[in-house]
Structure 1
């Protein structure tokens, strides 16, 4: 029995040695020039204390560097990914006196490079040497680096293989370069949260592979170029919170794959283009807080936008009636038309939209009696906003079931006041009715209270929906 155990142990040792030998023979070496360039590039980013050859003698094998990935090319290891910054728990953090070393551009197979929350002191991105990565780099990100200053590094436009360019929440300034159009393979362009100014380059319309454009939260001005219609593959377009003006071009309708159109908080004017109804894939159309004075909703065939989930047309200067065709958007969940100059009666068909759970129509000139069901008021609650429409009223029966719309008067209120006369003025009668009556006047008479309630609730709902569908 003892001999049998000894034989088993011997066989196990031999097997382990064999596997180890096989593993050692299968390990591919790393190109020495590549290895030295990697060590120097990382050290310039994380600090001179970092000694790569001691800490990571086999950076693509047994001792990999955090945030660094490699791949085989001609049986040799080369660096393909570098992520610097506190993205993960074990990521390399940036040095306080960080530098972007020229050795970084010697990594000839580098595909992805990102810097997250790195720069503690003012620094600029170099414009030179990027052409050395033109044959390999596919993704470049500088994200959440408020100390990253200077203008858009024009050398980035030489990265003809680039598919994703993210320069988000930094301190970059100046105009966007005209040669952005050189990035022919670009699929994602995110420049949000900087201080870019000037116009949108016309050349941007030639990037037919683009799926996402986000230029929000900058100081970009001028008109939306007609070349925007060339972005036939685009899925998401976010130009919100800028200084854009002029008329929305009819060419928008050519983007038939677009699911998100966010143009909020600009100065667009001239009404809504008829071509909007051709954007049949749209799920979110957010146009609020512009100057589209005189826009008439009746001229738009809203029934064509059957995929729409969010529609924000607030504070646009819209006039006329609310068309019944809006009720044909069966997937619509959020509808905001508040703070316009809309008139006429509200169609009860609006309550028939099966998915709607937020409806903001406050701050208009709507008239007549609300003709919605008790179930509708119970489902919507305070997400049904119609206050600040002086000539709008609700039927008497709603008071009994406790679903009265905030800030709206009863339709027979004047008659009730006349018949009660002195009793109402002196507070005589049913105390509960008197309290309800006073409460309604507090809300309907206070534009300040109604306005801020509207802002608070609507912002919370918009944030929820945008977070859900982006």
Structure 2
């Protein structure tokens, strides 16, 4: 074969190789290599129009991102292959990253959004900043289109978003996470959210929700986190909450809840955080009638709970790391049995009506780094060792206890407890 023939043969081989590689890039046929897999035209158009509804008419996706799941990805969009074709699985709208597309002043939930056939995650972050002339609310009708696909939905930091949570969210049977934080939403909580059997995270904090917590929420057996804090919820805690057997964190703080803490709460054997602070809860501390060894943080401050700590069985919560019972109307003495909680780091008992002496056994809590008992009726002299004051310093608060004193001869002025008077001679 002459030189020209050899060149022609090589050329043919190269062309065949290029064509073969081209087929791989375009059609994704190389053992799952999907870099150049095609995208269904209807899916691509639905994506473009949906985003345009949120960022404005100026945005022309087909020109800017002709291959949104391949070579020219769109910020906040993730895709996956189904039957050899690209489909959108994740859509994040708003200022999530520095280069994210900014939202328009008047966003629109275009019907194209609900044509994305495999969408699993949808989020809006810092998108709807302030109320516009036309109130912006969550579309209430079309969510059923995602009933078999959507796993996570999030509206975070959108103060201009008004209206209610659509009841159609309760039809999204695959949902594992609902996060609706710091928006302008109001109204009652949809009861049918309690029918979402796969739900693991329910966070609805920082809105203006009113009314009672639906009893159906106690049916969420897979739930790990419930945060309904910073709303205007009323009524009592549902007794059905005893059925939340998987829950780890429970935050209902800063609402207008009332009534007693149900004893069913002590059925929650995996619970690590219980925060009911800043409500109108009353009825004492009888809720822990069995062991809650997993509980690490018990925050009940700023409630008219009242009751006597001497009657509380501390061995049921002996793994607590943080205990805040400040401003809860407590009476009686500080029980010495608190000292069995060896993991305790924070103890807040301030602004109550506690009386009597403070047991020096509190100093045996080696991990304790903050102890506040100011604003009570405590009496007697403080008998903690000098090392305790050296460690705690201003994190030991005992001021505003008029009959409490400390023996000045036992410590230097630099570590004396702030606001506590010196014991008179003969009283220590």
Same structural fold, with TM-score higher than 0.5 when normalized by the shorter chain = yes
Name the counterpart of 1:101. Answer: 110
Q: Which residue of 1 aligns with 2:25?
A: 23
Q: Which runs of 5+ in 1 are unaligned?
A: 1-6, 416-470
Residue number in structure 1 paired with 2:254: 241
Partner in structure 1 of residue 334 of structure 2 = 322
Unaligned runs of 5+ in 2: 1-6, 29-35
Structure 2: distance between partners of 1:273 and 1:290: 15
Inter-partner Cα distance in structure 2 for 1:172 and 1:401: 53
Offset of residue 21 of structure 1: 5.8
Q: Relative to structure 1, is the Cα distance of residues 29 and 375 closer, same or farther in structure 2, using a 3 angstrom cutoff?
A: same
Give 1:290's aligned residue: 303
1:166 aligns with one of 179, 188, 193: 179
Q: Which of 414, 417, 424 is matched with 1:405 structurally?
A: 417
**Under a length normalisation based on structure 1, what TM-score does the superposition of the two structures give?**
0.83
Task: Summarize the alignment of residues 196-345 of structure 1 with structure 2, pairs less than 5 Å apart.
Answer: 196-275=209-288, 278-293=291-306, 295-345=307-357
Counterpart of 2:77 in structure 1 is 68
Residues 319, 340 of structure 1: 8 Å contact kept? yes
1:127 to 134, 140, 150: 140
CA drift of 1:401 comes to 5.0
Counterpart in the other structure of 1:391: 403
Equivalent residue number for residue 4 of structure 2: none
Deviates more, 1:270-279 or 1:144-153: 270-279
Residues of 2 paired with 1:401 and 1:124: CA distance? 60
- SS at structure 2 position matched to 1:137: coil
SS at match of 1:402: helix
Secondary structure of the residue aligned to 1:377 is: helix
Which residue of structure 1 aligns with residue 161 of structure 2? 148
- Answer yes or no: is the 8 Å Cα contact 2:323–2:346 preserved in 1: yes
Check the 8 A contact 2:212/2:233 in 1, yes or no: yes
Could you report, residue by residue, the CA deviation over 1:403-430 in whole angstroms, capped at 9, with x for unpaired residues?
2111111111699xxxxxxxxxxxxxxx
Deviates more, 1:31-40 or 1:227-236: 31-40
SS of alignment partner, residue 288 of structure 2: helix
CA displacement 1:22-78 (0-9 Å, x = unmatched): 434522211111111111111111111111111111111111111101101111111
Q: Distance in 2 between matches of 1:224 and 1:356?
A: 31
Q: CA distance change for structure 1 residues 86 and 281 in 2, over 3 Å: closer, same or farther?
A: same
Counterpart residue number, 1:349: 361
Match of 1:278, SS state, is: coil
Which residue number in structure 2 is paired with residue 53 of structure 1? Answer: 62
Q: For 1:126, what is the secondary structure of its paired residue?
A: coil
C-alpha contact (below 8 Å) 2:325/2:350 kept by paired residues? yes
Alpha-carbon deviation of 1:398?
3.8
- Matched length: 406
> Which residue pairs with 1:379 in the alignment?
391
Q: What is the Cα deviation at residue 305 of structure 1? A: 2.1
1:247–1:271 contact (8 Å) kept in structure 2: yes
Is the Cα contact below 8 Å between 2:264 and 2:287 reproduced in 1? no
> Aligned to 1:23, what secondary structure does the other structure show?
helix
Per mean C-alpha deviation after superposition, the further-off stretch among 146-155 and 205-214 is: 146-155
Q: CA RMSD in A?
A: 2.0
Indicate the larger mover: 268-277 or 175-184.
268-277
Q: Does 1:85 align with 2:94?
A: yes
Distance 1:307 1:81 in 2: 40
Distance 1:370 1:155 in 2: 60
